[in-house]
Amino acid sequence: MRPMQRTCEPTMLSKKFRNTLLFSCIAAIFAAVGYWNISPERFLDKPVTPVDESAIDYYAINAHSVQYLPDGKLQYDLVSDKVEHLKATEVTLLTNPDLNVFRGTEFPWHVQSLHGEVNPDGTQVELIDDVRITRFDEKNRKTLITSTRMTVFPQQQYAQTEQDVRIDGAGGVSTGKGMKAYLKESRIHLLSNVRGQYEAR
């Protein structure tokens, strides 16, 4: 009886198959790395780049802005020595803002301060330091409101503050803490600690 000869072909095929499979996997990994641009650096923590909140992307000197009502009457007129736009927050900084809120009439509220900040959509103006709001009526009677800080909403013709307020006018002086001023109706409400001194007639 002749001994059976063993063949090595199945072992060779399986070795070839394993090598082919291994090279196919390696090729697939390289293809994935190239496709998704995966690099070892992507898995490392990247340092957070700090944002400069005070970076100004544009500014204007002696700026002047005018806004009209839908009926064509003047709503407000704003002049400022300097306007600076902050890139990170979209807030606009004003130096010596001078605002006339006309309310569609010829007797405007004249609003002034040393500094101001306008929110990104322009609906709110924060007045800071030496805030003065003045108005003369048709009989040339003066009303003067002073505070250290105030928020004005030009489109709503409304102003408010939580700071101390002084109102000079109508034959006397009123003081209080906090105020809501409805400029269109010429109504002013002091919120607390209200005191008044009036001239006797």
Higher pLDDT, 187 or 52: 187
Number of domains in the chain: 2
Q: Does residue 194 belong to any structural domain of this protein?
A: yes
What is the biggest distance separating any 2 CA atoms in the chain, rounded to whole angstroms?
145
Asked if residue 190 lies in contact with residue 174, where contact means CB atoms within 8 angstroms, the answer is: yes
Distance CA 145, CA 153 (A): 16
| Residue 1 covered by a domain | no
How far, in Å, CA of 120 to CA of 163, rounded?
Answer: 24
Regarding whether 156 and 131 lie in a shared domain, the answer is yes
Tell me which residue range forms the domain holding 186. Answer: 56-198
Determine how β-strand 92-95 pairs with β-strand 98-101: unpaired
Answer whether residue 165 shows pLDDT above 90.
yes
Q: What is the pTM assigned to this prediction?
A: 0.68
Residue 8's pLDDT is what? 47
State whether 172 and 82 are in the same domain.
yes
Q: What one-character DSSP code corresponds to residue 91?
A: -
Name the residue among 150, 106, 146, 111 with its Cα closest to residue 127.
Answer: 150
Interval 35-49: pLDDT, tens: 555 555 555 666 666
Query: What does the block give as tokens for 111?
Result: 């609003």
DSSP 196: E
Q: How confident is the model at residue 74 (pLDDT cuts 50, 70, 90)?
A: confident
Number of CB atoms found within 10 A of residue 158's CB: 16
Residue 3 forms part of a structural domain: no
One domain for residues 86 and 34: no
pLDDT at 68 over 70: yes
Assigned domain for 90 exists: yes
Q: What is the pLDDT of residues 139-162, one digit of tens each?
A: 888 889 999 999 988 778 889 999
Whether residues 37 and 62 share a domain: the answer is no
Q: What is the CATH number of the domain that holds 119?
A: 2.60.450.10
Same domain, 76 and 102: yes
Residue 78 binned pLDDT confidence (cut-offs 50, 70, 90): confident
Are 164 and 147 a contacting pair, CB within 8 Å?
yes
- Residue 23 above 80 pLDDT? no
CB-based contact 110:77 (threshold 8 Å): no
Instruction: Give counts: helices (H), strands (E), the chain.
Output: 1, 11
- In terms of domains, do 32 and 60 share one? no
